[in-house]
Structure 1
């Protein structure tokens, strides 16, 4: 009897090993189910379900391409396949193919998010706020965003408001021994954006909104395992608190006799609810949550990285400071507000911003889902329908073919770069029909911040600045800066 049990155990073990081996072989070597002999891009799928996710989220301590991307480009070429959080993905660092894909939305591809991001931003009541929402919805969202954050409102209203807000913020920073600027900049930008979106007042809020959003960001690149104690679970709970606050605010405004009094982003959406069927309560909550998320993270990262880069390159800081001091010298009243023409005159400032955006690569890539099989011209392989395509913007930004000595901080390079090179290889705000509507808002905020900083304050880096990309750009120990009001220096 014991011999029979032993034989059965051995047979069971062999069956498990064989099935495991078969699963591994099929997983790592997927094939097209067709008769046309289509070939997949080269690459590796990693382990079943997990794929190569763990390799992607291992921190890298450099502004260079994340090792996950760099080693695979060297091994397989600029277009390769992998698997991330259970999804087959084709990663592309090819400029021509990337530009082609970004122009094919609604034809060959649609917007897509990996599971963690998609689950955090998904609709709670219906499916109308999926990334592949209808063109009508996208057009409405873009239009309403531009009406509150676009060039015209920036020129007539927000520019002066941003300057006032930045002045108050920097004054507060100057009264502290030192400031961790990534966290402080996140709070600054988010509080200002939230004020425009739903008249947010940080002093009256039930919790620190910026803290919640920063925790949400920390969990976005985690494995979507909703178990207490995991980063994803914490991220989901923080998101729930924020959306509940937005939902309560929405209901209060709908039931208020002073309806429409604030005149902000949320008020306009409420006034449009009778005109647009897709403007359900759940949709509005997710939209407000998502728009606020989109307005602050990239700006705060670039503020922090700029401090690090400028502290290492005094010649760039000197020229940047001179540009802003020259603006004051040309004014009749040095205390007057920044004008739109003055903003547009900040040539070197824009070069510094572009170079910081290029090196920062805040988002690791842009994701699309293939709607049908996509042959890759000149490569001999095909991307299957339903696979995810990751357009790796960081690989374009770090290409020596487009940017000489790409790891060097060189804002002067932007004087001589040809427009077609910039168009194909510089996409910090996305591309195609999905190019970020907040691009001008981000540049105006950054330019205004530099103007107030460099004309009214002195700053010194105290400690920190170590890069920790995983793959979203971060700073392991933060960047700690001491700010001093120039007026106080002169008085003393």
Structure 2
């Protein structure tokens, strides 16, 4: 009898699991789902998407599925059903439907790390507020009037320090420079006097974005949450000090948002702390990866390095005082430098996708994207498409002279698009251009080891990029 009962339980369990897997792999839809696969329950195809690829090309996870299923396909990543789109026409339509058919969205691991609630995630007024004050402190006006000379001063100091060392791993070193500069100017953080190495803690967080948000001791996600708590504790203390001690005011981002807490109901202490957390993170990671990639690309393309150097040295020769600071007019005149920046951003694809959530069922090309599903606009595929960019894997800054601006707007989105474009987009471009300006006019460099691309699918470098710097005056 007990054997029969046991067998019945096994049969029921197998039946339940089979039914569960079948439902997972065949989600409900009021129409026809885009082609694709949902992978295994809960895990989906996340592990495949996180495998490391040693190429500048599109990550194999996406490339093989685009070849198999076409420009729109379904999958499951980090526990969420996802439709991936590389269709420029459909993507452009989606961005026009913000707040109607779609809303800004992030994967669960991201929302839990940054504590972004559903209410905040879809609130246009909150996003507009954060973007507005970020532009106040990082936008073109502030760059022109205040930040440009400070950026150049920091780059000069940093490169002088690098040149005194046997070699420098430029990805990590760039991260430290960029984070410390941004944190100093946005919240008054002084890396030299602080006992907390914030840049290191932020660097550890990046690897968890495509992970399953499982808070189990020993996992990367668990360790990430511990680092997050240390960071937010420090930010909370800084916020309280600003609010209670007027003599600490600096007129920066932290001052403005803390002052606005008395005017805006949604600006609770927790919200402000995590807004600061997010702004600091966004301000350094993408640029440091692009800086590191630029060393590799310029070393492989001496003609581009030669023209870049000539353009920037010409700026110095045309000055009345060769030792004066870089001006805004000079920055705007650096045509080829900006082309190098654009081409490195295009190939780097540091943020390989933009995410939206479907508010309603969305018909597309005979398929239906169900309400509630995540839509991944795969900008990395757009920026490496041979339909837009001839020889897309080739580093060719000169291509930007002839590209149509409308085509570029639909296929080149390193900082997002439209009202959702990163408020730090111009800040990033200025920092990159200034860094290249100081680098090529004052230094020679040699790659000691590394420079191997390692996408997973975010841009990385398997062995780092170790560079030896030498002052041109020596």
Instruction: Sort the TM-score into its range (normalised by shorter chain).
Output: over 0.9
Equivalent position to 2:435, from 446, 449, 472: 449
Using the alignment, how far apart are the partners of 2:28 and 2:15 within structure 1? Answer: 20
Structure 2 residue runs of 5 or longer lacking an equivalent are: none
8 A Cα contact 2:139 2:424, kept in partner: yes
Q: In the alignment, what sits opposite 1:192?
A: 181
Equivalent position to 2:315, from 322, 327, 332: 327
1:130 equivalent in alignment to 2:120:
yes
Q: In the alignment, what sits opposite 1:75?
A: 68
1:371 equivalent in alignment to 2:371:
no
8 A Cα contact 2:155 2:438, kept in partner: yes
SS of the aligned residue for 2:247 comes to coil
Using the alignment, how far apart are the partners of 2:389 and 2:118 within structure 1? Answer: 41
Q: In the alignment, what sits opposite 2:410?
A: 424
Using the alignment, how far apart are the partners of 2:206 and 2:349 within structure 1? Answer: 15
1:201 equivalent in alignment to 2:198:
no
1:172 equivalent in alignment to 2:161:
yes
Equivalent position to 1:26, from 23, 26, 34: 23
SS of the aligned residue for 2:414 comes to coil
**Residue-by-residue CA offset, 1:41-65 (whole Å, 9 max, x unaligned):** 1111111111111111111111111
SS of the aligned residue for 1:130 comes to helix
SS of the aligned residue for 2:121 comes to coil
Using the alignment, how far apart are the partners of 1:210 and 1:129 within structure 2? Answer: 29
Deviation at 1:265, TM superposition (A): 1.0
Using the alignment, how far apart are the partners of 2:142 and 2:227 within structure 1? Answer: 31
Using the alignment, how far apart are the partners of 2:67 and 2:241 within structure 1? Answer: 56
Q: In the alignment, what sits opposite 2:257?
A: 269
Q: In the alignment, what sits opposite 1:481?
A: 467
Deviation at 1:477, TM superposition (A): 0.6
Instruction: Could you list the structure 1 runs, at least 4 aligned residues long, displaced by more than 4 angstroms after superposition.
Output: none
1:118 equivalent in alignment to 2:111:
yes
1:395 equivalent in alignment to 2:395:
no
Deviation at 1:14, TM superposition (A): 2.2
8 A Cα contact 1:79 1:93, kept in partner: yes
TM-score, L = length of structure 2? 0.98
Q: In the alignment, what sits opposite 2:8?
A: 11
8 A Cα contact 1:354 1:411, kept in partner: yes
Deviation at 1:130, TM superposition (A): 2.8
8 A Cα contact 1:370 1:386, kept in partner: yes
TM-score, L = length of structure 1? 0.94
Deviation at 1:102, TM superposition (A): 1.6
1:281 equivalent in alignment to 2:266:
no
Using the alignment, how far apart are the partners of 1:129 and 1:23 within structure 2? Answer: 30
Using the alignment, how far apart are the partners of 1:341 and 1:197 within structure 2? Answer: 25
**Paired positions, count:** 474
Using the alignment, how far apart are the partners of 1:343 and 1:359 within structure 2? Answer: 23
8 A Cα contact 2:343 2:397, kept in partner: yes
**Residue-by-residue CA offset, 1:309-344 (whole Å, 9 max, x unaligned):** 111111111111111001111111100010111000
Counting only pairs closer than 5 Å after superposition, residues 80-479 of structure 1 correspond to structure 2 as 80-122=73-115, 127=117, 130-133=120-123, 135-258=124-247, 260=249, 262-376=250-364, 379-479=365-465
Using the alignment, how far apart are the partners of 1:460 and 1:157 within structure 2? Answer: 33
Using the alignment, how far apart are the partners of 1:130 and 1:257 within structure 2? Answer: 30
Deviation at 1:267, TM superposition (A): 0.8
Using the alignment, how far apart are the partners of 1:191 and 1:360 within structure 2? Answer: 23
Using a 3 Å threshold, how does the CA distance of structure 1 residues 188 and 263 change in structure 2: closer, same or farther? same
**Residue-by-residue CA offset, 1:454-485 (whole Å, 9 max, x unaligned):** 11111111110111111111001100001111
8 A Cα contact 2:46 2:210, kept in partner: no
8 A Cα contact 1:463 1:480, kept in partner: yes
Using a 3 Å threshold, how does the CA distance of structure 1 residues 422 and 57 change in structure 2: closer, same or farther? same
Using a 3 Å threshold, how does the CA distance of structure 1 residues 129 and 12 change in structure 2: closer, same or farther? closer
**Residue-by-residue CA offset, 1:377-434 (whole Å, 9 max, x unaligned):** xx11111100000000001011100001111111111111111210111010111320
Deviation at 1:20, TM superposition (A): 1.8
Using the alignment, how far apart are the partners of 2:325 and 2:190 within structure 1? Answer: 24
Question: Superposition RMSD on alpha carbons, in Å?
Answer: 1.3
